[in-house]
Structure 1
Amino acid sequence: MPRSKNLFVDFDIDMQREDAYSGPFVFSLTPMGKPTLLELSQQYFDAADTLVESIKTQRIEDYKVAYPTLYLYRHSFELILKFITDSNENTHNLNTLTDNFIAYVSKHHNQTVPNWIKESLKELAKTDPTSTAFRYAEDKYNGKKQPPSSVDDVYVYVVNFQSRMNDLYKALYRVATYFAKTSTEQLIKEMAREVK
């Protein structure tokens, strides 16, 4: 494995590998390989799930990765909502993005987003509305003109949280990937059935 004095380097033929699990291990950040918001969302989600699996297999203590795990999950939802609504809006406000998603589904597909999806997104937004609470352990914007506020005194059952996040992400991922392929009405009905 070559060592470099630089953190970021140009492509080298020695970086080639047989598959995704053989070495050398290389992050490829290229314009051609730039992920879509959906793909990027999946990467953040997978990273969060990987941290939770590390907790469950006792490779790391839960308190050591609490905020990064919560942030990665939250950011994955921010990105997938922006992807679904094709939003160029420069906001990290999860309430705004959720409202945009609900309006988009209603306007463009004449459907209602199931309550469990709305409630789950709004619950995440309540704890970290502006995408700073999980990054900095306080809501730095807190209404933009207010002083920062800390995260409320809450606790998270990690395994339950992971399960809920997986249910929510699967539903939104299906929306993201099937709007163009499947009848929206059929899709929304399927999403509602899956949770019952």
Structure 2
Amino acid sequence: MPNYEMEFSVSEAAKYFGTERDRIKKWAYMFSDYLEPAANPPKGTPRQFSVEDLRVFAYISYYWEDETDIEAIKIGLNTDGHYDDIYDNFIAGLTPLFIERPEGLNEDWRHGALFDGMSEYGDIFELADSYKNAGDILVDAAIDNDEAFELVNPILFNYRHATEIYLKATIGKWKKTHDLIELQKEFIEILKSEFDATLPKWFSDIVLVFNEFDPKGTTFRYGGRAPREVWVDVRHIKTLMGWMSKSFWKIRNRRLGLQDFD
């Protein structure tokens, strides 16, 4: 089980450094000035180490000898020697992909996202947008780095998946299907009954092409043989997907009685 809390017991710390529990306790006492308060709690309370405590222990462990120069280690800690690459890699190795919400998390944390699982219905359009935007970013990267061939499958996967989610969010039925043609039929009925509108050809062509080349939502994801030889202009696809996204959001906003903004 991943350690999402990133809190470690004496036994866990000892295991990481291949040493005895008593030595971990000794380090916690000797280097208490560099550790969190929970590393040296009141009597009767188990010790608990943070990931930064383990960073300190990693530095201590590296320089620990039979006759260790304690003051030299403290000097190293005072000069942030425990933030060298070797210790960054150690921390990265014991940190799971996901961790619990960190203390001090705010809008300045731009290197990640707070993920709370599948959102409610009203946010599904934003989920679709996230896949569409990922496709846009990949298109830009592919062009900037001359890597359209290398990135074409991830680009198409994100756009196809965005199309599927847009359709399902608009229909309001999360059927266990990846059949875009089936979903589009229900979408056409909604356009007719709610807005007295018909589907533009460019829109239906997106669905038809994605369905022909990836009917089950697995070809762009895992690879497979294309039904025919075609040229894929990723810039053109980005343009059409932008139109599609605006169309779905216009429908959503009208349902909610919101004003459309171009």
Residue pairs, 1:160-179, within 5 angstroms: 160-179=236-255
Segments of 5+ residues of structure 2 without an aligned counterpart are 1-87
Out of 112, 119, 135, which is 1:34 matched to?
119
Q: What residue number does 2:103 align with?
A: 13
CA RMSD in angstroms comes to 2.6
Residue pairs, 1:17-166, within 5 angstroms: 17=106, 19=107, 22-23=108-109, 25-30=111-116, 34=119, 36-58=123-145, 61-138=147-224, 150-152=225-227, 153-166=229-242
The structural deviation recorded for 1:180 is 2.9
Segments of 5+ residues of structure 1 without an aligned counterpart are 139-149, 188-193
Structure 2 CA distance, aligned partners of 1:161 and 1:118?
Answer: 13
Render the CA deviation track for 1:160-179: whole Å, top value 9, x for unaligned.
Answer: 22112222222222223323
- % identity of equivalent residues: 23
Q: Is the 8 A contact 1:44 1:76 kept in 2?
A: yes
Structure 1 CA distance, aligned partners of 2:234 and 2:250?
Answer: 24
- Report which of the two structures shows the higher radius of gyration computed on alpha carbons: 2
TM-score by length of 2: 0.57
The structural deviation recorded for 1:182 is 6.3
The structural deviation recorded for 1:28 is 1.4
Render the CA deviation track for 1:85-136: whole Å, top value 9, x for unaligned.
Answer: 1012111111111111101222333332233322332222222222112112
Structure 2 CA distance, aligned partners of 1:115 and 1:66?
Answer: 24
TM-score by length of 1: 0.74
Structure 2 CA distance, aligned partners of 1:24 and 1:116?
Answer: 36
Q: Is the 8 A contact 1:137 1:151 kept in 2?
A: no
Structure 1 CA distance, aligned partners of 2:205 and 2:181?
Answer: 11
Structure 2 CA distance, aligned partners of 1:11 and 1:92?
Answer: 33
Structure 2 CA distance, aligned partners of 1:26 and 1:120?
Answer: 32
Identify, as 1 or 2, the structure richer in helix: 2
Q: Which sits farther off after the overlay, 87-96 or 4-13? A: 4-13
Give the total of aligned pairs: 168
Q: Which sits farther off after the overlay, 119-128 or 42-51? A: 119-128
Structure 2 CA distance, aligned partners of 1:160 and 1:24?
Answer: 30
